[in-house]
Amino acid sequence: MSSFRRQSYVGKLKFAHLDAASTIKKVFVATEENVVAALNLKSGHILWRHVLEKAEQGEIQFMGGGDDDIVTVSGRNFVVVRTWDAHSGYLNSEWTVTQTSNSRLIDMKWFLLQKQLFQVVPVARSHITITAYNMSAGTRLSSHDIPAPWIAEGSRCVLAVPYLACLEAAEQEVFLHSVSLTGVDVQTKSLSAVLGETKADVTLETVGGSQPAVALATVGSPKKHVLLLKADGFTLFPQQLSVASKLCITLNEKSSIIIEALFIEGWLKLSGYETDTGMELSDLAGKSKYPTGLGEGSVAAAVCSPRKDKGRGCHILLATDDHAIALIFHPGKILWVREEALASVAAVDSLDLPVSDTDAAIEKEFDHKESEYAGFLGMFLHRLASQMLQLRALLLTILGLGEPPSAGQRAGLVRDEFGLHKMIVVASSAGKIFGIDNLSGEIIWQQRLENVKPYVDQAVGKNQVPFFVQRTARHFPSPAQCALLLKHKVTGEGVLFVFNPITGQPLADPDGLIRLGYKVKQSLLLHESNKESLRGILLLDNEDNLHVYPESTQSVVVSVAATTFIFTVDPDTGVLVGYSLALSTKQKLIASRVWEIKLTQGSQHITAAVSKNSIEKVHSQGRVLGDRSVLYKYINPNLVAVLTQGYDPVHKQFLNIYLIDAVSGSVVFSISHKRAREPVHIIHSENWLLYSYFSDKSRRTEIVTLELYEGKVQSNTTAFSSVAAPLQPIVDRQAYILPGMIESMTETITEKGITSKHILVALANGGILEIPWVFVDPRRPITVTPEMREEGVIPYMPELPMPSESIINYNQTVQRVKGIHTTPSGLESTCLVFVYGLDLFYTRVAPSKTFDLLKEDFDHFLITAVLLGLLVTSYITKKLASRKALKQAWK
């Protein structure tokens, strides 16, 4: 088992609070993943973490507190207030807030003051409702309204505790209103004196920290102004700061300090100013090198304290736009960085590492055309020259004069004997890409992509990044090459990022990003490669024009055009369209429509379209029955499983499954489930389909398996054809009950497909369950006949067992799993498993045990002794036999 087990994350930062007074200094955070946690201030490691409810039900609206308790407010329509022990993370109290009937719940704001929790609800063109709650008892203390007729539907309001600051745009002027939320006072100030002419739009943002303040700027202006909010009005901060700077206010003994962070071309410039005088503090001024690959950030929290050398030391927490969290001890030291982009993985793949330098030299020896060293003599001379060069390299290495090993060789990134050492390439929805060593869990490289975003699956709302492996590391000396398909943030046009997955280096000038200039509707990786072992990417735009990258693979596209098909799915209209490339020429690639089918009507919509794994290999074409006959599998490589959901007044929610041939457009099989709803997960492999749903009727999770067979006579023994006469398969089906909620599912995969298939199920309780296929086999009968027993089929039981020994992550809980990625290793018995979500988890499974490996307790000494004994015995026996034969000859 590898040493890399689990890595835990918290997600993109939303609220933060620094505690520098306790013995173990902490950073309290609340994130967009609905997580509240405490981090160690020195190392950044998680001290404790709680994962709240999913989606809007657990969305954190506020986090605050002191040194002993942390308060969180979560939920939209059903608001829950919780207090946590700051040291242990234990839940101290929990109570709910009565649901308000106001329609503008998105504008609801919360703050904590003097151990009272305040709720602020603005009502357009009317008033602001402020409600106070007792934190210990959860009871309502008071509620009052403050008239605010200037609040419009699109008003820009920010909370600067204990004030609510709002902008009002009049015909010729812009006014700033400051509402005291603990009283009834309203201060109004015209911004013409601060900003001058205010014809342009004005931006308003709160300045977090210990003193209420807001920052104002005119759109297009290089400077912004800071207004300090007080009971007697507004105070303008004397200094004008850069509009790009990030601000935070922190206490310094008896006064307050404004911390300014400015990112300039790979440098982080930090400054500190006294809030009263505006004087810049020299001991807080400095510039430090900003880590490469880290995005620009905002100051989430800051705390300053006096140092022994009579200066000041400030801990500044940064939340970057690529979801990272960094802590800086000013002046000039970055203590730690947490790459929280790994909590939002959108695409993942595992790739083989390159061979070692020694093996590469051997491969290079044979990497020549036959004509160069034709004949026995030429090959012999080439071998002598190669061995002389290897001897020279050995002598130079011994003397210390040889070439240094490559970077991959130094880092240990070389292919091992059994193919267990791989590079895991992860693309996050934050536009960041990571290369992770699967054995150590170490981030080897990272790349941050600017002005791009992932595609969004309209059916389920998940981020998706198509990942293409164009060339692996097996084709020495050509480097491995991968490509990611993303979308431009502004234009929405397709963008390709081409890179080396082993080193992370871009392979296209200047930064690896290729602007396609059109919106991509569908993409496909070719199954054939060109002379450079590079596989092309087919791209279908919104106008049904076909493109290929790189253009050098166009000849390959033309050669396989007659057998290449593409299909598209529109989740909203429920229309599937199939395209053929048969009309393509060397001058132009053409995608012509050959079929179209509409699967939905009314409230129905498509939620998933799942094809088979492109690297899957089917070892056996049939299944041997108990009577020694063979039941041949229906193995259609073009089969796609399409899942639709809808609602009707009688059966409420229903679920339909269609098996469609993507070449001909024919519906091979369909099935419907009444009163079935999300979450739905589906696996499509070989000749079977497995999917799960939640049954509204029985209030439980059910799993359905389908197996397709041709019968006892195989229609075509050489290759499957979708254009031949359609064959109606025999479908075996069965349903099972799983006593748990499913987060994600996938199947194991091995190099040759000989090993038995197991189903990996991520459960909501954090466990990863491994289910052998024999338990979900649709041919399980209620009563087992002798023939069935001979076949190895077990009796049918509706409920699937969940033994604790089948949980492959043991006590390493994996929260909020978004997907499970499986990849084959060099061993046929072993499958590599990478689970991603809020946590990352890696392990290996052997569905049929490690039949191709010696056991760890194998007695090497005993087998060696036995072999030596046999050799000695055979030699002695040979001598004795020859002596006996000689004596008999002399008789």
How many angstroms separate the CA atoms of 670 and 689, rounded?
12
Query: ∠ CA 872-876-881 to the nearest 5 degrees?
Result: 145
Per-block mean pLDDT, blocks of 10 residues, the chain (891 long): 74 91 87 95 94 92 86 90 94 84 66 89 86 88 87 80 85 80 82 70 86 87 88 86 90 84 87 88 84 86 80 87 91 88 95 77 56 65 77 76 57 82 95 93 93 86 92 87 94 94 89 92 92 93 93 92 92 91 90 92 88 90 88 92 88 90 92 92 95 94 95 79 80 95 95 93 95 94 87 92 93 93 94 96 92 83 94 95 90 72
Q: Are 88 and 67 in contact (CB under 8 A)?
A: no
Per the document, the length of the chain is: 891
Please enumerate in sequence order all residues whose Cβ is within 8 A of that of 243, keeping only pairs 6 or more positions apart, or say none. 217, 221, 222, 223, 224
> Torsions phi, psi of 863, nearest 5?
-65, -35
How many angstroms separate the CA atoms of 143 and 148, rounded?
16
User: Token pair 């080897």 is at which residue?
Assistant: 444
How many angstroms separate the CA atoms of 148 and 128, rounded?
6
Q: Which amino acid is at 152?
A: A
Q: Which amino acid is at 224?
A: K
Handedness of CA 814, 820, 826, 827 (dihedral sign): positive
Q: Which amino acid is at 275?
A: T
How many angstroms separate the CA atoms of 125 and 103, rounded?
13
What confidence score (pLDDT) does residue 404 get?
A: 60
Q: Are 534 and 507 in contact (CB under 8 A)?
A: no
DSSP state of 115: T
What confidence score (pLDDT) does residue 554 get?
A: 92
User: Token pair 């006579």 is at which residue?
Assistant: 713
Quote the distance between the C-alpha of residue 728 and its chain's center: 39
How many angstroms separate the CA atoms of 651 and 627, rounded?
43
For residue 876, give the H/E element and its range: helix 860-890
What confidence score (pLDDT) does residue 172 get?
A: 67
User: Token pair 């040194």 is at which residue?
Assistant: 67
Q: Which of 460, 519, 462, 509 is nearest to 485 (CA)?
A: 519
How many angstroms separate the CA atoms of 197 and 673, rounded?
65
For residue 646, give the H/E element and its range: strand 639-648
Query: Tokens standing for 414?
Result: 């070389």
What confidence score (pLDDT) does residue 457 get?
A: 84
HSE-up of 19 (CA within 13 Å, CB side)?
21
Q: Are 446 and 435 in contact (CB under 8 A)?
A: yes
Q: Are 519 and 541 in contact (CB under 8 A)?
A: yes
